[in-house]
Chains A and B, each alone.
Chain A
């Protein structure tokens, strides 16, 4: 045993794996440390919607027992994990942040959850999120506000804000988030974490409660690039249950992270996207964010990368296109919540007919942002408007993909800020959907093109974390990990510690 319980919550996954494998600590100790920390701090942060408590300890004890009998265990056996509450978990409450699924106990588990369980990880609980992942601040959760551990008056990002708060606040060593328009990268950026949105189709969507099917991807949120890569390797790879899952072997992502950390980026061509915070495109970007971004790019150049500026003019259209495609698909994906088979059923007292019960269930079960997007999507898909809205948006998507293609003919990766600002105060944008949507400005292009993109800390602005986004061609996720790891290692070396260490232990 190398430290106290509370110390164990500050050890990254690579460290926990070593301690557990060598037998220096038990899985029960690690899990108990995290549960204690949750009990102590989650009242303040509001990261979790559900904590597994006894079930987590039982799972940890099973790992310890297996280890005691000499069973061959994987390197992650006994490492705790938190799942965003839209990852379906058999017998464990799964609400997607919505009242309409309150009380639902799923009869099956998502592939992502199953793969993590098979690796021996211990489920700590389910994290808060914007309802059905619709939001950028987690303020749209039907249950509670989640606070940013760096400043509890500020948002933790969204929609995976429970996951970012849990990992940054040391209530979990890592977490699964999902990203539709930026929901992994943006919360990671504002909490000083690493968050990666994998290539669309490279992580199974089976068992992820759908928001926008053609955009949703699950991915890792972790404290280091290496941890993120390790988690991606556990959850990634082909799944026959997901037709959009790509049937190719996963790249060696942890190796790419280690290679990047070695610090040699000679021969790597880095393109800086002008339309995302570059000259003439700085409206809405905070100077501190632009400064950290510039410095990070300088670090990459210092490691040997060739840096050039790249123009992707269609990126300006990403926001409107996204806010037609995602709501359109959502309006259909959310039609199943009508109270017939699971979740909330409202007003079924014999006085209302079927249509009235279904309507009332949706009226009471969905929050205002979900309703806004269902209405928007229903309109965009309706007869006579389809071509003008959904059809046009799909064309924009093609244009954005072409811009990426042209850019990647000249460079290996593209970089930009992850978000134009640092974490904004809770409540600052709730009455202004357009301002809220602008938080996703930098993350949307890669989402629409289905490309991998990572957010890695680039420093602080006014004491709050800033993230650098690294985007790569489809199925070249390893490039994101390599570049991000190089930046992380260089900055950690300069700083003498990790950025997250500046968040004092409680």
Chain B
């Protein structure tokens, strides 16, 4: 099962002999309220088999009715990818036996998809790569199998299997690229950048939550290698269930290294499905093309053809939100930052957060500093996405405002942030509740300064002997007794006044 036995060629070496061609098939679960062909709810995480009905269970006699919101969402994705929207499109039955498809076929689209011939440009290392989109089509999701017993969680070796049909019938959009040649050593990054950009677009359209960890965005990665200079592409493998951005990159890298080893040894790449293993970053063989099913596609007779009229399409086009690439260009100009900085922001998933923080009153610089600095570090430590931290852009803007007003300093601000993240309220409330404001030249501070001087005669002696920088230790002591609330320059001035009498 595992592919530890696979011999691998070093990545850099692969590129001396081979050119990769990649292709991606991405499934996006739409966030419609109801399923594709029935009225069942689509919410994630419900008790198994509670969101089911005769239609999505494939009961005898039941019939599908297409979800108009899903069709609209698919057209929007197509438009955002520059596709041509078909004026005549049909659903088709993809026939195969598996317990998680209730009808014995999946209702999908075959030779008459809703959207065709688009493209998506992605930037990697300052170069633009155009990924051609072959088609965007609409289909239904399958149920979910849980294989109980056995070591692998796969059906082989399992004692029994459970099926949850809550997911069966949830609308699924499949976005298929044309083969992408020419990415060379950047192929893994181009694949990742494509999925990242696609996710941003779908997010901007508001048609899916595109959470890879929940399976609402899933990726199949096709890779082939051909000898450098060959016009003919090699045989491809299709790696299934690549379910994180990092895994997309790893899967491409692994397959390139594995295929190169096979080819180097005079072997032949088999056209097959491969499974990706998150733990090892490797792939293993699934079923090969030789034993693949003949899906016997034919037009779904239970559904009428889709014929979206031009007016409707134009209305949807007009309703498209600002797309991520355009937004990045605009924000880059507005914020006066470099392309590289913009890429950092985008890759960190901080773009929207910074934008909202700026909208709440912070300067772009301050907003970037906090989101890419302290907050990014915290998210990283917690192993979570930036956007999932328990702090809002408005709170970050408020924090920045308090620092700029001199109410708190950066050190205090970090303590305030601790309070905000702990759910103690907005920054001003935390400052108030914990008394975290910067101390003025209060009696308390005077007392702390004088106590520091009294407690360190040796230091004072050094200072008086001319070693002024020794005062730094006293500043530290004062900051400590005031728990960071004092303003360090003020403390330094007060010490100098008292010790040097200046």
Give the segment of A103-111, A187-195, A315-323, A475-483 that binds chain B.
A103-111
Question: How many residues does chain B have at the interface if contact means C-beta atoms less than 8 Å apart?
Answer: 30
CB distance from B30 to the nearest CB of A (A): 19
A332-B95, A338-B97, A358-B97 are contacts. A110–B61 as well, Cβ < 8 Å?
yes
Decide if A381 is an interface residue (CB 8 Å cutoff): yes
On chain B, the residues within 8 Å of A331 by CB distance are: 95, 296
Q: A341 to B302, alpha carbons, bound, how many Å?
A: 21
Tell me which of B57, B60, B63, B95 has the highest count of chain A C-beta atoms within 10 A of its own C-beta: B60
Decide if A241 is an interface residue (CB 8 Å cutoff): yes
CB distance from B430 to the nearest CB of A (A): 55
By beta carbon, the residue of chain A nearest B302 is A213
Give the segment of A14-22, A165-173, A302-310, A382-390 that binds chain B.
A382-390
**A71-105 vs B, Cβ < 8 Å mask (1 yes, 0 no):** 00000000000000011100000101000010010
Q: A342 to B57, alpha carbons, bound, how many Å?
A: 10
On chain B, the residues within 8 Å of A390 by CB distance are: 298
Decide if A378 is an interface residue (CB 8 Å cutoff): yes
CB distance from B157 to the nearest CB of A (A): 11
**A207-223 vs B, Cβ < 8 Å mask (1 yes, 0 no):** 11110111000000000
Decide if B471 is an interface residue (CB 8 Å cutoff): no
Decide if A366 is an interface residue (CB 8 Å cutoff): no
Return the contact of B65 from the options A96, A101, A240, A383 (Cβ within 8 A): A240
Q: A331 to B304, alpha carbons, bound, how many Å?
A: 20
Decide if A354 is an interface residue (CB 8 Å cutoff): yes
By beta carbon, the residue of chain A nearest B54 is A108
**A240-251 vs B, Cβ < 8 Å mask (1 yes, 0 no):** 111110000000
**A313-355 vs B, Cβ < 8 Å mask (1 yes, 0 no):** 0000000000000001101101111101110000000000011
Decide if B301 is an interface residue (CB 8 Å cutoff): yes
Decide if A32 is an interface residue (CB 8 Å cutoff): no
**B296-337 vs A, Cβ < 8 Å mask (1 yes, 0 no):** 111001111000000000000000000000000000000000
A243-B303, A338-B104, A340-B163 are contacts. A332–B298 as well, Cβ < 8 Å?
yes
Return the contact of B63 from the options A86, A206, A334 (Cβ within 8 A): A206
Decide if B105 is an interface residue (CB 8 Å cutoff): yes
Decide if B155 is an interface residue (CB 8 Å cutoff): yes
Check A332–B296 contact: CB distance below 8 A. Answer: yes
Q: A176 to B489, alpha carbons, bound, how many Å?
A: 94
Check A336–B60 contact: CB distance below 8 A. Answer: yes
Check B294–A336 contact: CB distance below 8 A. Answer: no
On chain B, the residues within 8 Å of A208 by CB distance are: 61
On chain B, the residues within 8 Å of A210 by CB distance are: 60-61, 302
Check B58–A241 contact: CB distance below 8 A. Answer: no
Check A341–B102 contact: CB distance below 8 A. Answer: yes
Decide if B66 is an interface residue (CB 8 Å cutoff): yes
On chain B, the residues within 8 Å of A213 by CB distance are: 301-302
On chain B, the residues within 8 Å of A212 by CB distance are: 301
Q: A94 to B95, alpha carbons, bound, how many Å?
A: 25
On chain B, the residues within 8 Å of A243 by CB distance are: 63-66, 302-304
Q: A335 to B304, alpha carbons, bound, how many Å?
A: 21
CB distance from B156 to the nearest CB of A (A): 9
A214-B301, A243-B304, A336-B60 are contacts. A382–B296 as well, Cβ < 8 Å?
yes
Check A96–B302 contact: CB distance below 8 A. Answer: no
CB distance from B296 to the nearest CB of A (A): 4
Check B65–A241 contact: CB distance below 8 A. Answer: yes
**B22-59 vs A, Cβ < 8 Å mask (1 yes, 0 no):** 00000000000000000000000000000000100111
Check A336–B65 contact: CB distance below 8 A. Answer: no
Check A342–B105 contact: CB distance below 8 A. Answer: no
CB distance from B10 to the nearest CB of A (A): 40
Q: A172 to B302, alpha carbons, bound, how many Å?
A: 32
A106-B59, A243-B304, A335-B97 are contacts. A386–B298 as well, Cβ < 8 Å?
yes
Tell me which of A107, A341, A358 has the highest count of chain B C-beta atoms within 10 A of its own C-beta: A341
On chain B, the residues within 8 Å of A381 by CB distance are: 95, 296-298
Q: A310 to B231, alpha carbons, bound, how many Å?
A: 61
Q: A87 to B60, alpha carbons, bound, how many Å?
A: 10
Check A341–B57 contact: CB distance below 8 A. Answer: yes
On chain B, the residues within 8 Å of A185 by CB distance are: none
Decide if B62 is an interface residue (CB 8 Å cutoff): yes
CB distance from B90 to the nearest CB of A (A): 12
Return the contact of B60 from the options A101, A338, A354, A358 (Cβ within 8 A): A101
Check A336–B301 contact: CB distance below 8 A. Answer: no
B166-220 interface (Cβ within 8 A of A): none
Decide if B99 is an interface residue (CB 8 Å cutoff): yes
Q: A207 to B62, alpha carbons, bound, how many Å?
A: 5
Q: A341 to B57, alpha carbons, bound, how many Å?
A: 8
Return the contact of B61 from the options A207, A337, A358 (Cβ within 8 A): A207
On chain B, the residues within 8 Å of A241 by CB distance are: 63, 65
Return the contact of A244 from the options B103, B105, B302 (Cβ within 8 A): B302
Decide if B93 is an interface residue (CB 8 Å cutoff): yes
CB distance from A92 to the nearest CB of B (A): 13
By beta carbon, the residue of chain A nearest B37 is A243
Check B60–A94 contact: CB distance below 8 A. Answer: yes
CB distance from A304 to the nearest CB of B (A): 40
On chain B, the residues within 8 Å of A340 by CB distance are: 99, 163
Decide if A126 is an interface residue (CB 8 Å cutoff): no
Q: A381 to B301, alpha carbons, bound, how many Å?
A: 14
CB distance from A270 to the nearest CB of B (A): 32
A370-393 interface (Cβ within 8 A of B): 378, 381-383, 386, 390
Q: A208 to B304, alpha carbons, bound, how many Å?
A: 18
A217-241 interface (Cβ within 8 A of B): 240-241
CB distance from B264 to the nearest CB of A (A): 34
Q: A208 to B63, alpha carbons, bound, how many Å?
A: 9
On chain B, the residues within 8 Å of A147 by CB distance are: none
Check B63–A205 contact: CB distance below 8 A. Answer: yes
On chain A, the residues within 8 Å of B97 by CB distance are: 335, 338, 355, 358
CB distance from A413 to the nearest CB of B (A): 27
Tell me which of B66, B99, B298 has the highest count of chain A C-beta atoms within 10 A of its own C-beta: B298
Q: A214 to B95, alpha carbons, bound, how many Å?
A: 17
By beta carbon, the residue of chain A nearest B38 is A241
Check B60–A96 contact: CB distance below 8 A. Answer: yes
Tell me which of B54, B95, B297 has the highest count of chain A C-beta atoms within 10 A of its own C-beta: B54
9 contacts between A and B (CB under 8 A): A210-B302, A241-B63, A332-B105, A337-B104, A341-B58, A341-B59, A354-B155, A386-B296, A390-B298
5 shortest A-B CB distances, which residue pairs? Answer: A335-B104, A213-B301, A381-B296, A214-B301, A88-B61
